[in-house]
Amino acid sequence: MHVLLALLYVFLVAAPACASLPTKGDSIRNTIHNIINIAQITLVHIKKLRTKLPVAPQIEVTNPSIAGLTSISHGLGILDNQLQSPFTELFGQIQADVSSLEGRVRSLALTMDCPVQARPSGETSDDLYPDSHLYLTLTKVQRYLEKLLLNRDKLKVC
């Protein structure tokens, strides 16, 4: 009888601790981990796509800043819009990845009570050189994600 009471006591005391919801800190760490994983996977997709394209010339690009969650969310929104150009339909998976990243970063920023800018409006491009636009967009996304991974600590600040 004492064994049953002891087991019941252990079950009642230990069960709530085992079944507790994740803390805000756990949620933030998990989200940052997911963002880093998606960025790494997207870079793999870009590298695979580059093997299917003719060799691209060296392109110098300027990307939005990576100062914190607010700027990262805005930068990913800009890149997501550029990936939705009619000249970049080849980038379907990459665009989906960047869109997912932007949503997760925006959600993380809101969780951390960071100010979040309105999502950048889409810009339509009537580019006369679609191949150049394709390479330029791909290079921008690749360099931005590489920079994001190097500055992953910026995912912890507004």
112-148 pLDDT per residue, tens: 999 888 887 766 555 555 566 778 888 899 999 999 9
Which backbone phi and psi does 129 adopt, to 5 degrees? Answer: -125, 80
SS (H, E, C) the chain: CHHHHHHHHHHHHHHHHHCCCCCHHHHHHHHHHHHHHHHHHHHHHHHHHHHHCCCCCCCCCCCCCCCCHHHHHHHHHHHHHHHCCHHHHHHHHHHHHHHHHHHHHHHHHHHCCCCCCCCCCCCCCCCCCHHHHHHHHHHHHHHHHHHHHHCHHHHHCC
Q: Output the average pLDDT for the chain.
A: 80
Output 87 or 12, whichever has higher pLDDT.
87
44-48 contact pairs (CB < 8 A, 24+): 45/93, 45/94, 45/97, 46/94, 46/138, 46/141, 46/142, 46/145
Mean predicted confidence (pLDDT) in 72-96: 83
Q: What is the pLDDT of residues 50-83, one digit of tens each?
A: 887 776 667 777 888 899 999 999 999 999 988 8
Is residue 117 a part of any domain in this protein?
yes
Is residue 125 a part of any domain in this protein?
yes
Is residue 102 a part of any domain in this protein?
yes
Q: What is the pLDDT of residues 26-41, one digit of tens each?
A: 888 999 999 999 999 9
Number of domains forming the structure of the chain: 1
For residue 53, the enclosing domain spans 26-131+151-156
Is residue 59 a part of any domain in this protein?
yes
pTM of the full structure: 0.77
Is residue 17 a part of any domain in this protein?
no
| Confidence (pLDDT) at 89 | 63
* CATH code for the domain in which residue 113 is found: 1.20.1250
Contact 105, 97 (CB under 8 A): no
